[in-house]
Amino acid sequence: MYMCDCVTMEKERFTMLLLEPGEIFFEDYSVLMKIEDLSNSEDTWIDGRLKFCSKSLVFVNKDIMQPLIKLQLKETTKIEQFESTSLTDSSNNVLSVYCKQYVEMLEKNILAPYKFIQKSIHFLFYFNYVKVEECLPQILQLHRATTLPTAEQNAMIMAIIYSRQSRVSFDTSWLEDLYEQVVVETQASKVLPLVINPGRVLLTTSRLYFQPYNNMDQHPVLKIQLKDINNIIKRRFLLRQVGLEIKWKRIIESKTEHVYLSFQSQEARDELYDNLVNQPLVLLETIPQNQMTMRWQNGSLSNFDYLLYINSLADRTFHDLTQYPVMPWIIQDYTSELIDFNNPDIYRDLSKPIGALEPTRLERLKERYVEMSEPKFLYGSHYSAPGFVLFYLVRKCPQYMLCLQNGRFDHPDRMFNNVADVWKNVLVNMSDFKELIPEFYDTSNQGDFLVNGYGIDFGYRHDGAKIGDVHLPPWAKGPADFINKLRNALESDHVSQNIHLWIDLIFGYKQRGKEAEKADNVFFHLCYEGAVDLDTIKDVNDRYGLEIQIMEFGQIPKQIFTLPHPKRFTPKTYSLYKDLALTSTEITCEDQPGNDDIIHLNECRVFQSHKENACFVIIFNEQNNDEIVSVGQDGMLKMYSIEKGKMMRSVSLSKLSLSSCISYYTTSNDQILVAGSYNNTLIFYDVKFGKVIDELTVHDDAVSCLIWSPIRQIIISGSWDCTVAVWKNNTAEKTIRSAECFIAQLEHDSKVTCINLSRDELKLVSGTEDGEISLWNIDTYYLLFNVKRHKKKVNAVTFDEECKNIISCAEDKSLNVVDIHTSTQIYCTVLEHEPITLTWLNQFLLIGDSMGDLNVWSLQGAAFLLKIHCHNGPISAVAASNDNKTIITSGKDGKIIAWKCTIP
C-alpha cells in the first residue's frame, strides 16, 4: 500500500484526519468537560483532553467507548472565560463555549459517518494544568476568522499560524551529535494525504531533522542521516513549486522511507534543496531518464514500475491526493467466466483516452464541443482527482473519505461496488472518465482495498443489497487473484507493445495542443499546468475559488515527453551459431531476463594477410557474394572471397600506412574503393578494372577516418589537421576534384580521430584526440554541440538506431552514451581493457578491445552480454554485413577473420 495507512483506532483515537482537509492541529490540554444544559452537578464532569485546532476544538473522552466531540468554530456563537463558584478550584479556570451544532465521531470506537447534532448547547472545559488566559486570545482570534468569507478566513488563519510558529525555533537538544554544524534552518510542513503538519526543518552537516510544532507526529523529531538519502525530488504542491520529496533507506531494516515537505515559498524550498545536494555525505542514486526508458524497452523494468517512474517525473506522488499516480484501465472484459491474455479482444484500446473509447458518447461530446465557446473542452470531468482516488480506496482508508466529505460516505449506489459497473460507467456516462490507481496492479497488497476489512456499515443499495466487498468479475477467484491477473495483463506482450500510446496521451506529446485535439484528449483548461498563474491573482476570493476548482476537478500531469514515446522492444532471443567446426568460445548470457541460451561465436574463415596491423575492414557485395576489403599499416589494400576462403587481390596503394576505406558505386554501376592515407591523400581504386584511378590530396595532415553517404552521395573525411572535410562525389569522372567538389570544412580544436553518420544521414558525429565529441547538422554543417566526455583520445563513435543517443569509446577505457538533444551524459562505464572500435549487429553493439576480445553490449539493457577472444592483440576494426549474417574482425596481428552468425 503506497498511501499512508489509516491509523488504527486502538492506538490513538484522535488523528488529524478527523479535522477538515489541511486544518492545523496546535496542541492539546488535559481538561474536564461538562455539558451545562444537562446538569449542574459536579459528578457530570468528564475526564479527557481538548485538542486546539485552527478551525475547531475536539474533546477526546478518556472512555474510548464514548464519542469524540468536535466543536467547529464556525458553529459556535460565544466563547469566553466562565466564572462560577461551583468548582473546587476558586480560580475558575474554565472555558465556556456556546454552539448551535456539534459533531460526534467514533462512538464505541467504530468508524462510521459522523453525527451532526443540531441544537443549542453550552460546553464547559476546566483546564487542569494551564491557565485559560493563555489560550483564550488565540481561540477568539480563530473564532473571529470564521465570520469572514472562506478565502479571507484561510488567509487570516495562515497569518495567525505564521505568527505563532515564527516565534519557535528548532530545539537543538534533539541533535544526535553536538559537533554537527548547522547548515540551514527553515519552516516547512510535513504533508500526508489531506493532512498538513507544520514544523521546523534543520539541516546539519550529517543529518536532516524535522520537528513538528505539535505532538501528533510519529516522531517527536524525525532524524534522517544524510548518508542514507538516495533521492531528492522537487514537487509541485497545491499548484505551487514549493514541495520537496526526500527518500532514504534505513540500512538495518533495508526499508525505503519517504518524507514530503512543503515550504512557504519556492525560494525557501530551493535553498534547502541546494544545500542538501551540496552536502558531501549526500550521494543520490540518480538514473537518467533515457536510461530508465532503455531499461524498460529492454524488459529490465516492468511496465508497472516504469509507469510509477513516469508518474513521479510528472509530479504525481502518493502523498498528495490532488496529484495521485494514475494508471490505465487495461482489461475491458469483466463479464466472462474465463479470460485469455493472448486474446487481443480483452484489452482496452490504449491509443484513445477513456472518453473516446465509446463512439456514441464521443459523438455527443463532440457535438457539445462544437457549440461551446472558448476555451473549449471535451471532458467536463477528469481521469484523476482526490474523490476518484478515495472512491477506489474507501474500504481500506475510510477516514480519508470521511475527512474529504465532511464526515460522510458517498451514497451507497454511487460507491465502488462492482468492477464491471464502474467499467461500464466510464464508457457511457457523460461525466465519468476516471482511470485507475496503482493499487489495481500492486500484487503486494493482494487486493486488500477491495475488501471491507473494517466491517464498516456503508448502508444499502436501492435494491436492498448491503454494501460489503467489491464484486469482482467471474474470471477472478478473489481479490488477490483479481490483482494478479490485472498485473499479468499489464505486463502482457499486447500491452507492452501498446502502452507507449497511452503514455503519449497522459504524459506525452498528445497531452495538450493540436495533437490533443486530434486525439480527442481535451480537458477543462484550468487543469493544465501553467494555465493560470495564481500568484498574479490579487483578490483572495478569486484565487481561492480557482484553487478549489482546480484541486477538485483534477490536474493534468506535468508533461514529460514532447515527442512520441518509443515503443517497447519485442522480446527476442539472439544467438550466434556455429557454422563451420573450428575453435569456439561459449559464454552464458547473464542478467538478461528471459534469456538462458548459450551464445556461440565461431570462426568461419581466417585470412593471415597483412604484415602489419590490419587497420580497417569493410564488407561489400560482389555478384551476390559478400567480399571483404581490408587496408593496413603496410600500405596494402586486399580483397577476399568468403565463399572461396581465399584472398583475391593484393594492391599496394601507398608507401605509408592506410587508415580507412569506403566503397561506393558510380552511375555506371562501377564500384570504387576509396582509402585514406597517412600521406594526406585519398586513393581511388576501381574494382572492375583493378587499378588506381586517382589520388587526391585533401588535408594538410594524415587522413584518419572516412565515411560515405549513399543518400547524399558525399565523402566525409577526418584528419589530423583538426578538420572534417565534406566532398561531393563527381560521378562522371569517377573521382572527386577538390576545387569543384569541396562542400564544407568543419573545424576542431585537436586531431580528428573518428567520425560517423546517423542512419537518416541528418547528423554527423566526430571524436578528437583530446576527448571531445562534436555533433553537426549535415544540412547546414552547423555545430549543434561540442562536449568533452572523455579524458583521452576518442577511438570510435556511433549513433543508436533511433538517432537519439551517441555512443563513444576512448583510450581512457570508458564507454559513454550521450543524449543528442541535450548533450547530457546518460550512461558511462569503464571497461577492463581499452575499447577501440564500435559496430552494430542488429540491436547489439560489438566492441573490439585492446586485448583482442569482442564484447557484445546491449544498449537497451545497458549491459554486457558476453566477451569472445578473437585476436592475439588489439582488434583494429569490426564490420557487419547488411543482413547481419557475417561479422568481420581485423587486428594488429594482421589477421582478418570472418564469423558466420544467425539471428532467429
Confidence label for 823 from pLDDT (cuts 50, 70 and 90) = confident
Residues 461-485 have a mean pLDDT of 94
What is the per-residue pLDDT across 289-312, written as a single tens digit (0 to 9) for each? 767 887 787 677 899 999 999 999
Residues 356-372 have a mean pLDDT of 94
Which DSSP letter does residue 139 get?
A: H
Confidence label for 606 from pLDDT (cuts 50, 70 and 90) = confident
CA atoms of 420 and 458, how far apart (whole Å): 20
Instruction: Name which of 527, 140, 486 is nearest 331 in CA terms.
Output: 486
Q: Of the spans 229-238, 447-456, 565-574, which averages the highest pLDDT?
A: 447-456
The pLDDT value recorded for residue 600 is: 46
Q: Is the pTM of this model over 0.75?
A: no
What is the per-residue pLDDT across 521-580, written as a single tens digit (0 to 9) for each? 999 888 888 777 666 777 767 777 777 777 778 889 999 998 888 888 665 433 333 222
Residues 224-253 have a mean pLDDT of 86
Distances (CA, A) of 570 to 101, 589, 595, 841, 860: 64, 18, 13, 17, 12
DSSP strand E in 653-771: where? 658-665, 671-677, 681-686, 691-697, 703-709, 714-719, 723-728, 742-747, 752-757, 763-768
Is there a contact between 23 and 55 (Cβ–Cβ < 8 Å)? yes
709 has pLDDT over 50: yes
What is the per-residue pLDDT across 9-68, written as a single tens digit (0 to 9) for each? 445 789 999 999 888 898 889 999 998 765 554 558 999 999 999 999 999 999 999 999
What is the per-residue pLDDT across 158-206, written as a single tens digit (0 to 9) for each? 888 777 777 788 888 888 887 899 999 999 999 988 888 889 999 999 9
Q: What percent of the chain has pLDDT over 90?
A: 50
Confidence label for 594 from pLDDT (cuts 50, 70 and 90) = very low
CA atoms of 540 and 559, how far apart (whole Å): 29
Confidence label for 387 from pLDDT (cuts 50, 70 and 90) = very high
596 has pLDDT over 90: no
Q: What domains sit in the chain, N to C, each tagged with a CATH number?
A: 16-163 (2.30.29.30), 168-286 (2.30.29.30), 303-553 (1.10.1540.10)
Residues 389-408 have a mean pLDDT of 93
454 has pLDDT over 50: yes
Mean pLDDT of the chain: 85
What is the per-residue pLDDT across 129-160, written as a single tens digit (0 to 9) for each? 999 998 899 899 999 988 888 888 888 888 88
Is there a contact between 496 and 568 (Cβ–Cβ < 8 Å)? yes
890 has pLDDT over 80: yes
DSSP 672-688: EEEEEETTSEEEEEETT
